[in-house]
Amino acid sequence: MHFPSEGELILRILVAALLGGVIGMERELSDHPAGLRTHIALALGASLFGVLSGYGFREFNASRTVTNYQVDPTRVASTMVTGIGFLGGGAILKEGAKVRGLTTAASLWVTAAIGLACALGEFGLAVATTAVVVLSLTVLRRPQRWPVFRRLAMANETVVIRVKAGRDAGPVVSALNGIEGMSVRSLIVRDRDGEKVVQADLVGSGGFGLEELLTPIGQRDDVDTLEIS
């Protein structure tokens, strides 16, 4: 059995860090919980685990008649697939009725696989996977806003409306409920420093842009600011 040199193994770890950093940079620029350093560390750790699993026990590479030790490199890979879940769980956040961080959790999981692929010398697979992940994270963002899908997909947004001090939030809520082509899935009214804040999860029918539908709300004289997230 051929064992790579130490220099080659170090190169594999460095390539894993580089590819993990490419994915992490996109997450960093998008201001997500797990960014550049997290993805680099994850790819490094996965790669090191893979190297140690595949080549760290070379002294025991012998038949059963020579040694009682049995090495199974696949155990580390199978354990990583499930064990990496705790990091992904830390990246998933629930904000009101929305759940955020699922894409970042998935990118962490894929980054671990890329690091393991580099550890085993599968650079072509690792680079190809990195390219596909980065393209999906950048080019395929918010497909419901693509012109080709606008008339097919339901638009989902969260809007935060700050009502001017001393004004009642009731008329604003009524105006939201009265917009045709849009329905309010959930709504919360909070009092912050004497100012009413309306947070609503909205669903728009296919072919309707929520930004356009909410324009009259933002122009009301009793509305201070309107933000769509």
Q: Distance between CA atoms of 16 and 127, rounded to whole angstroms?
A: 9
- Give residue 56's pLDDT: 64
pLDDT band at 69 (very low <50, low <70, confident <90, very high): low
Domains of the chain: 6-141 (no CATH), 155-228 (3.30.70.260)
Contact in structure between 32 and 104 (CB atoms under 8 Å): yes
Contact in structure between 195 and 161 (CB atoms under 8 Å): no
> How do residues 200-226 score in pLDDT, each as one tens digit?
888 776 545 677 788 888 889 889 899
Coil/strand/helix, residue 227: strand
Q: Distance between CA atoms of 125 and 29, rounded to whole angstroms?
A: 25
Degrees, nearest 5: CA angle 76-79-85: 135
Q: What average pLDDT does this structure show over 61-80?
A: 64
> How do residues 100-146 score in pLDDT, each as one tens digit?
677 778 888 888 889 888 887 888 888 998 988 888 877 766 655 55
**Mean pLDDT, rounded, of the chain:** 77
Assess whether pLDDT exceeds 50 at residue 152. no
Contact in structure between 164 and 193 (CB atoms under 8 Å): no
pTM of the complete model beyond 0.85: no
- Give residue 177's pLDDT: 87
Q: Which residues contact 80 (CB under 8 A, 6 or more apart)?
A: 46, 49, 112, 116
- Quote the tokens at residue 18: 């580089």
Does 41 or 82 have the greater pLDDT score?
41
> Closest Cα to residue 6, out of 56, 42, 40?
56
Assess whether pLDDT exceeds 60 at residue 147. no
Task: Report the range of poorest mean pLDDT among 66-75, 155-164, 179-188.
Answer: 66-75
- Quote the tokens at residue 30: 């998008």
Does 66 or 24 have the greater pLDDT score?
24
Q: What average pLDDT does this structure show over 80-99?
A: 66
Does 167 or 141 have the greater pLDDT score?
167
Q: What average pLDDT does this structure show over 87-105?
A: 67
Backbone angles phi, psi at 174, to 5 degrees: -65, -40
